[in-house]
Every structure is written in C-alpha cells, then in structure tokens.
Amino acid sequence: MQRKRRFEGVVMITQERCKGCTVCVEFCPVHVLSMSDAFNQKGYHFPELKDPEKCSGCDLCGMYCPDFAIYAFKREMKEAS
C-alpha cells in the first residue's frame, strides 16, 4: 500500500494493539494516516493509511505510538512485499 520515491516509507500497523489515541495520525508530519471507522476487538478505532505514498518512513509514528502498534521504516524503491 505504499508508493515509491527514492525511498519508500513502509508503515506497519498492528490493529489489535492499537488503543485509538490518534497520536500517530496527528503528529505524522506529512499526514499519511487517518483513523478508521472500524473498531478493533477492544472497541477502539485504529489508524489506516490515507496517503501512503506520502510516507517518508521517518518512523515518528513509531516513536510516538504508546502501544507499539505502529512503526515505519524506509526501503529503497522496489516492489512492496
């Protein structure tokens, strides 16, 4: 779901760990994320990728996420796994 530039940012989300705090969404510098309407099992909304191609892989979302539910990394341009 991510798109290519020189580096592509890859974001990994573990929905079931998410507690819906929206911090990742708010502080992603390039607004890649948004909260989904769906609930996870605990009844929380979780983030999804709104603009995956914008992601720089800066991993700020990963550093912020209090629940270790999201993180990101940079990958040199190739096909997403």
Partner 1 sequence: MNSNDSTECTLPLNPVVPFLRTERMPHIWCPGCGIGTTVNCFARAVMDCGIPLDELAIVSGIGCTGRVAGYLKLDSFHTTHGRAIPFATGLKLSNPKLHVVVYSGDGDLAGIGGNHFIHAARRNLDLTVILVNNFTYAMTGGQATPTAPKESIETTAPYGVFEEPFNLPHLAASSGAVYVARWTAYHVVQTKKAILEALQKKGFSFVEILAPCPTIYLRRNRLGGAVEELKYYKEHCVIQNGADTKDVGIDLRHQDKVTIGKFLDIEKKEYYDAYQEHYAGLLKGGKQAVAGA
Partner 2 sequence: MDKRIEIRIAGFGGQGVILMGIILGKAWALFEGKEAAMTQSFGPEARGGACSAQVVLEEGKVLYPYTTQADILVAMSQEAYNVYASSLKPEGTLLIEEELVKLEKALPALRTFAIPATRLAEEAGRRMVTNIVMLGFLTATTGIVSKDAMKQAVESSVPKGTEALNLKAFEMGYTYGLERYVAN
Q: Which amino acid is at 74?
A: K
Q: Is 53 in the site for partner 1 (CB under 8 A)?
A: no
Near partner 1 by CB under 8 A: residue from 7, 27, 34, 53: 27
Nearer to partner 2, 14 or 56 (CB): 14
**Maximal CA-CA distance, the chain:** 38
Q: Is 7 in the site for ligand SF4 (CB under 6 A)?
A: no
Q: Is 39 in the site for partner 2 (CB under 8 A)?
A: yes
Q: Is 56 in the site for ligand SF4 (CB under 6 A)?
A: yes
Residue 10 interface partner, choices partner 2, ligand SF4, partner 1, none, CB cut-off 5-8 Å depending on type: partner 1
